[in-house]
Amino acid sequence: MNLIISTIDQGLIWSLLAVGLFITFRILDFPDMTVEGSFPLGAVTSIMLIQQGYSSEFSLLIAFIYGALAGFVTAFLYTKLKIPVLLSGILTMTGLYSVNLRILGKANMSLTKPQNIFNKYGMDKLPVNFNGIILGIILITIIIGLLMLFLNTEKGQALIVTGDNEIMASSIGINTTRMKFIGLMSSNGIVALTGGLIAQQNGFADVNMGIGVIVIGLSAIIIGEVIYSDVPLNIRIITIVIGSIVYRLILMVVLQLGFNPNDLKLISAIILSLCLALPTIREQFIHTLKRGVKSNATSTRAK
């Protein structure tokens, strides 16, 4: 039971990362690689600020701001300097590796201060892992609520239209460049915030902890979409949380079956590949089934 509770705890916290990715990959239709740099940026920023005596809440705020600045750089490279989409994100991600080393001063650092957001406000008195569940629910509710409110505004609708059809958006007077800045900054801000939370929960930060986070976030998004297909945008955002928890449960089952923990990245990639291929497999299965039924019906009539 404790293992399941721990898995739900992880799923809720990591779903914030998936929400950040959803803004760029799904709403803005922008394959942003910056997140593999902004995630550890948030982690090292949060740990370093707490080590210097700042509050955990302040460290998360600064982590969000730094992540937003990383998104600003990517947006600038793409919109102003006309660097291709993927290369813009890769350039920022690569540069952030050195930035993260500068902030941390070394490759990794443990949190020696007892203070972190998971043991404040009486949450340290809760049963094991319940503090993460409570905090995760609170943060997910706030962030998804704010995102839904924004998407229902005029600027939010402009962001959606920009992702759906940039040419049409420009033709009706939408500043698509501004929308890309807004989308990339908010996305990477949320990703960096998640990095800060994970670092505080784990008690350490590492400059390499961003490797593979895109796969983790996309797995949660795809699993949520596979489980709940053809739902409105607001509901799709909520399904990300469910997808994140299901993804963590799948990993838990895999580990319980005796797989090597060092293979988690490979397993994550396989899970994402299967989820991406599932609609095609389902369509081919239905097509084969219909063809079989049609063939049987033809044979029956012939008899």
In whole angstroms, what is the distance from residue 236 CA to residue 238 CA?
5
245 occurs within a structural domain: yes
16 occurs within a structural domain: yes
In whole angstroms, what is the distance from residue 303 CA to residue 300 CA?
5
In whole angstroms, what is the distance from residue 48 CA to residue 27 CA?
33
Q: What pLDDT score does 94 carry?
A: 95
139 occurs within a structural domain: yes
302 occurs within a structural domain: no
Residue 109: strand pairing partners: 205
202 occurs within a structural domain: yes
3-state helix, strand, coil in the chain (%, to 5): 80, 0, 20
216-237: pLDDT as tens digits: 999 899 999 888 878 888 889 9
Identify whether the C-beta of residue 34 lies closer than 8 Å to the C-beta of residue 213: no
301 occurs within a structural domain: no
Residue 108: strand pairing partners: 206
Residue type, position 11, single letter: G
Tokens of 162: 């920009």
CATH code assigned at 22: 1.10.3470
In whole angstroms, what is the distance from residue 132 CA to residue 152 CA?
30
The dihedral region occupied by 229, where left means phi > 0, alpha psi between -120 and 50, and beta the remainder, is beta
Q: Which residue has the tokens 């919109």?
A: 79
Residue 223's SS3 state is helix
Residue ranges for the chain with pLDDT beneath 70: 1, 293-303
204: DSSP letter? E
In whole angstroms, what is the distance from residue 252 CA to residue 182 CA?
36
Residue 51: strand pairing partners: none
> Is residue 55 classed exposed, middle or buried when 0-12, 13-18 and 19+ CB atoms within 10 A define those classes?
middle
Q: What pLDDT score does 303 carry?
A: 56
User: Which domain, by its residues, includes 104?
Assistant: 2-264
Dihedral pair phi/psi, residue 110, rounded to 5°: -90, 150
Residue 153's SS3 state is coil
Domain count, the chain: 1
Q: How many CB atoms lie within 10 A of CB 213?
A: 25
Q: What pLDDT score does 293 carry?
A: 67
Q: What pLDDT score does 212 carry?
A: 87
In whole angstroms, what is the distance from residue 203 CA to residue 66 CA?
20
Q: Which residue has the tokens 């089934």?
A: 289
pTM of the model: 0.91
Q: What pLDDT score does 38 carry?
A: 97
